[in-house]
Structure 1
């Protein structure tokens, strides 16, 4: 049995689906809801869990024979940054306690592309030294802190840690008005018949599609042997907003996506992830490019609110 905390969120649900596709038994957790998305119905078990409750977390091990943990649970910070860090750290430590107590084989945990902030090389590979520049958001700060905490906590405990440096991910189940990726809000506005603001044509990112990202995490979780502890998770390709606009107008022929030539920051450079390590050790190849991803997402949103 594989436990996916946060398994009802965007990345967690797609990870759970990919694990089920691989023939794995999966239990997912949700905090505020236990309602399964349609593509998980009948395929996984679901438990309500507040990851900050240590006793409740450890009790899962008495109900299930859990072999691996994928810890993806997280929250969005409000005005109380200290409270956000307290809750996220508590959930992480409880997940680590569970991994050690249950003697799991592998503990995979979400980090982020944001750990490379301040690094000038492109694309970003796992061997690059991480900068000490201030990070732009509490989530980015916490994800960077996750890495040494997780690696140190399981050292010598017989648990293989896997740090998942996840790129700019979007897709079904993402908040349709999310500030963290431009594509869902843009599609939402166009499907409502609105005229969203323009994008800078040459800005961009790796824009990994959630089903691909979930499959990459599933492959790392189930791999017989891994040579490393840190892996970039993305599609390994930089797409521009011009690419996004072209994909959207193909999927929604009536759409008009306005573009401004150039970049918001004329001297900036977009970071994206080198996934050579992931490809080499798991055989991962993205199923979706930006055009097929946008077409799939538009079809999903026509019958789903997020």
Structure 2
């Protein structure tokens, strides 16, 4: 019995692969390598290179590896890009998820862990935001993920598929052992970009919007360390295998930091006064979003280990140094 990890050669997916392997799980990865890397995976983890829309390939992968559970990470994730290319996001995130769900049903997959996002909330009416507030995404990215949630819920009702949806907030940091991290060259994650600026890999850091209704005018976000996030997925899978109910859960720490606070943390940890350019707001960015985490704490056996911003920044900085050496080799 194997777990199929889609997008498993990417940032979050590769951490999930490591977490599953540490639990003794058999794992197979399906990735088109558009933003992932074979070297991010253990050498003995099988990688199927291809597209989720290739029904024959997905069916064969599930059958050949005896897949009974899927952790679905493969997606397009850049909010401003989704505003400029909405059809690309509905194709990449919604249509391809529909194809994957159809393959799961055809081949008797039992459990499905879906990588969703806090972007489904838009500008929530309360903070921290609980899972049951009205869902009003403000970007095609958020809408594409919400559509996928709906498809998963309907598929589960019709076909008995068991699922957990994890709506996670701003993912950051890297594997504490230095085995993998955020490696996409054009990534837009704030902490990664700030660390690159600290190392001179970018000329400056651009802060988008300083006139939001937040304490310092910059966007407020809940930053969750990537290995903690992977462990939440492992806990979700254990919950389903034990006969647990279908769930939709926020995955964050319940603590927000502003963009400018993050910048100060990177300066503090790196010891470098990185150049910062203040720019206008980007379309699709909510002012503030922080997770209400009571539900995940009550339902999953999940104990995050890295709830410290400076620790997360230190991990990200160490990974950027390691990545730069890897690329130079």
TM-score range, shorter chain: 0.7 to 0.9
* Residues 1:124 and 2:132 are matched in the alignment: no
2: CA distance between counterparts of 1:32 and 1:54? 18
- From 222, 225, 232, the equivalent of 2:250 is 232
**Residue equivalent to 1:41:** 42
Relative to 1, partners in 2 of residues 1:83 and 1:127: Cα closer, same or farther, differing over 3 Å?
closer
Give the SS at the match of 1:154.
helix
- From 295, 301, 304, the equivalent of 2:320 is 301
1:31 Cα deviation after fit: 0.6
**Residue equivalent to 2:182:** 173
Relative to 1, partners in 2 of residues 1:252 and 1:100: Cα closer, same or farther, differing over 3 Å?
same
The C-alpha deviation readout for 1:97-132, integer Å capped at 9, x for no partner, is 22212222211122210111132111111122223x
* Residues 1:89 and 2:107 are matched in the alignment: no
**Residue equivalent to 2:106:** 101
**Residue equivalent to 1:160:** 162
**Residue equivalent to 1:74:** 75
**Residue equivalent to 1:212:** 228
Contact 2:205 2:277 in 1 (8 A): no
**Residue equivalent to 2:23:** 22
Ranges in structure 1 where 5+ consecutive residues have no aligned partner: none
* Residues 1:187 and 2:187 are matched in the alignment: no
Give the SS at the match of 1:108.
strand
1:196 Cα deviation after fit: 3.2
**Residue equivalent to 2:65:** 64
Contact 2:172 2:226 in 1 (8 A): yes
Q: Counterparts of 1:239-250 in structure 2 under 5 Å?
A: 239-250=257-268
2: CA distance between counterparts of 1:225 and 1:239? 36
- From 136, 139, 143, the equivalent of 1:137 is 139
Give the SS at the match of 2:265.
helix
Normalising to structure 2: TM-score of the pair?
Answer: 0.80
Relative to 1, partners in 2 of residues 1:296 and 1:62: Cα closer, same or farther, differing over 3 Å?
same
Relative to 1, partners in 2 of residues 1:48 and 1:259: Cα closer, same or farther, differing over 3 Å?
closer
RMSD (Å) for aligned C-alpha atoms: 2.8
Ranges in structure 2 where 5+ consecutive residues have no aligned partner: 174-180, 211-215
Contact 1:20 1:44 in 2 (8 A): no
1:298 Cα deviation after fit: 0.6
1:175 Cα deviation after fit: 3.5
2: CA distance between counterparts of 1:276 and 1:177? 34
1: CA distance between counterparts of 2:251 and 2:290? 10
**Residue equivalent to 1:254:** 272
Contact 1:30 1:47 in 2 (8 A): yes
1:80 Cα deviation after fit: 4.9
2: CA distance between counterparts of 1:128 and 1:80? 27
Normalising to structure 1: TM-score of the pair?
Answer: 0.85
Contact 1:69 1:107 in 2 (8 A): yes
**Residue equivalent to 1:275:** 293
